[in-house]
Structure 1
Amino acid sequence: MTTSPHRTALPHAPEVTGLIAEAAARLSGLDPDGMILVRHQTSGVYRLNTAPVIIKVAPPGEHHLADVVALVAWLQKHGVPTVELWGDPADQPLHIDDRVVTLWRYLPQERAVRAPDIAESLLALHDAPVPPSGLRRLDAFGPIRRSIASSPLLTDDDRDLLKRLCDRLAQDEAILTAGVATGLIHGDAQHRNTLLDPATGRAVLSDWDSAVLGPREWDLTTIEVHCRRFAHPPAEYDQFCHRYGRDVRDWAGYPWLREVRELRMITSNARKSPPGSPAAAEVRRRIDDLRDGRESTWNIL
């Protein structure tokens, strides 16, 4: 384990993860001069200015990334379109203080990803065999309950509302998923976790932290929720269904799983969003809409 020039007790914030990303670059023989913060939600994501490399700094406690590295190397061998690790996978992940760091090939994007772009890559993933080891099974409700318990944003009324909805949905899980086949799924398949490879024009999947064994309906419903909630043109989702070969809305369990996915999106952002931030205000609006039974367009977080 390498120690970076700061105390490990500091929070998961850019002033901390930036130092860790710089240390990771130097350990990998790269120059961090001019490094750019791309985003800072679950992980701190940085792009080097001196090489086509993305550096991801996971929050404390995320120690399963060795499995992610092994999975991506396995996906590449099995022809699943995925963003590539930088360098030799055997050299990753890096451990710096209490953080785990991964390095990825940077793919410059000339246009925004659209839902139809994702279909063929997601189908290739769903058609892949099950990896030999290292993958967890989908836990649909555990993360929701943990987020409700730990969120600094929620009032007691909010927690009561979200707990009751979670309990109601969990009661139906066994019935609605009976007989549904499981396999390798991305876990958070959506526009922002897909990139276009400029060399081939083909979409590749990225951000494999949520990959698990579960029903492919989980991924398909995630795409539908993102298209509908974030106001993508309806025709784009129809094109996705045509290219993938299935519309998950035809599945009897879709209305239930749609509620589960939306609840998970609300609660995970309630856990991650700093109080007083624009993201916290968006979470508050989503909860108020949920309480009042309003169907609204969401702002991306």
Structure 2
Amino acid sequence: MSALAAEAFAILREVCDGMGIDHRGARLLRVRSNAVFKLRSEIVVRIATSPGARARLPVVLAVARWLAGQGFPAVRPADEISEQPVEHGGRVVTFWHYVPASGRPTTTELGEILRSLHRLPVPPHPLKRFADPLAEVRGAVSRSAVLTSGQRAWLSERIAELTDRWTDLDADGPPVLLHGDAWIDNLLRCADGHVVLCDWDGVAVGPREWDLVHTYHGQRRFGLTSADVDAFADAYGSDLRSWPGYSTLMEVRDMYAVGIHIRNAAADPFSRRELPRRLDSLARGEKNARWYMAEPVTVSP
């Protein structure tokens, strides 16, 4: 078990014990930006590891409740647990209803659900404006103990360049309600066949292109096919590849995808292996080098 997973289990036990919640038999589903556990009571516990969670997660919960009122297919907070979010040991904990997945969703379904999301009004909550996609990566680089001085200097310069180019982009339309991490793995197919979006930690108001780029980037780095991307574009109703800022946006997304592994490399063996792969391919300008995601884990304390 990695140090990151061990820390997450300790926080889970202490938080649940303090709230009188049974954590026996809890399963760790994944450790990335969050440590995600499933309890036997069909509750999902999410322990945020990223900076800014304390300020962000009350809004995330409020938006999730608002989406429920709109009838939008998204995961629902476990509101029977009224004391949330919970802060413990510098981490922030939220509780959600578990959605048993039944088969893999398609990029067509992802395109359709994002089209519906982007047509909703902006909810009446103090949502962040998505103006600086590399802010957390910039902070991770400055704090990292695993980067060499050369890597830190190169990353800092590259982040500054991409931030300037991002600022110069012109979005195709007004700001919309963004999911923020609209990757196919955050779409779940329920037992009755319908799909729901999960992992709303990045919810914001900003350019629709940020929600769209994840699927195109999935072809570049994570094994999606050109047919997957074509189906997504057809379902959404427009193709990001025809947008003038496409190349810059893909490079920004590349850099964004390095940040989680910079943050986690000191405590997580997978991030320690994956970080050099991603940094090397970026430094070499290899635009189609394959990257990997951690395999799901199902371990118990």
Q: Which TM-score tier does this pair reach, normalised by the shorter chain?
A: 0.7 to 0.9
Match of 1:238 among 230, 235, 248: 230
1:170 matches 2:163? yes
1:69–1:89 Cα contact (<8 Å) kept: no
Deviates more, 1:268-277 or 1:161-170: 268-277
Distance 1:15 1:238, change over 3 A: same
Match of 2:37 in 1: 46
| Deviation of 1:89 (Å) | 7.3
Higher relative contact order (CA 8 A, sep 6+): 2
1:260 matches 2:252? yes
Match of 2:86 in 1: 94
2:258–2:278 Cα contact (<8 Å) kept: yes
C-alpha separation between the residues in 1 aligned to 2:224 and 2:234? 16
What secondary structure sits across from 1:33 in the alignment?
A: coil
What secondary structure sits across from 2:72 in the alignment?
A: coil
1:140 matches 2:130? no
Q: What does 1:1-301 align with in structure 2 at a 5 Å threshold?
A: 13-25=4-16, 30-49=21-40, 51-59=41-49, 62-63=53-54, 64-88=56-80, 91-138=83-130, 139-177=132-170, 180-199=173-192, 201-274=193-266, 277-294=269-286, 295-301=288-294
C-alpha separation between the residues in 2 aligned to 1:180 and 1:158? 37
CA displacement 1:209-242 (0-9 Å, x = unmatched): 1111110001101221123311122211211111
| Deviation of 1:100 (Å) | 2.3
C-alpha separation between the residues in 1 aligned to 2:240 and 2:197? 20
1:54–1:104 Cα contact (<8 Å) kept: yes
| Deviation of 1:66 (Å) | 1.1
Deviates more, 1:182-191 or 1:91-100: 91-100
What letter matches 2:53 in structure 1? Answer: E
What secondary structure sits across from 2:94 in the alignment?
A: strand
Gap runs ≥5 in structure 1: 1-10
Distance 1:281 1:13, change over 3 A: closer
Gap runs ≥5 in structure 2: 295-301
What letter matches 1:75 in structure 2? Answer: L
C-alpha separation between the residues in 2 aligned to 1:116 and 1:157? 42
Distance 1:89 1:33, change over 3 A: closer
RMSD: 2.4
| Deviation of 1:181 (Å) | 2.0
| Deviation of 1:114 (Å) | 3.1
What secondary structure sits across from 1:208 in the alignment?
A: coil
Tell me the TM-score normalised to structure 1 length. Answer: 0.87
Aligned residues: 289
What secondary structure sits across from 2:201 in the alignment?
A: helix
What letter matches 1:53 in structure 2? Answer: I
Between the two proteins, what is the percent identity of the paired residues?
Answer: 32
| Deviation of 1:279 (Å) | 2.1
Distance 1:178 1:116, change over 3 A: closer
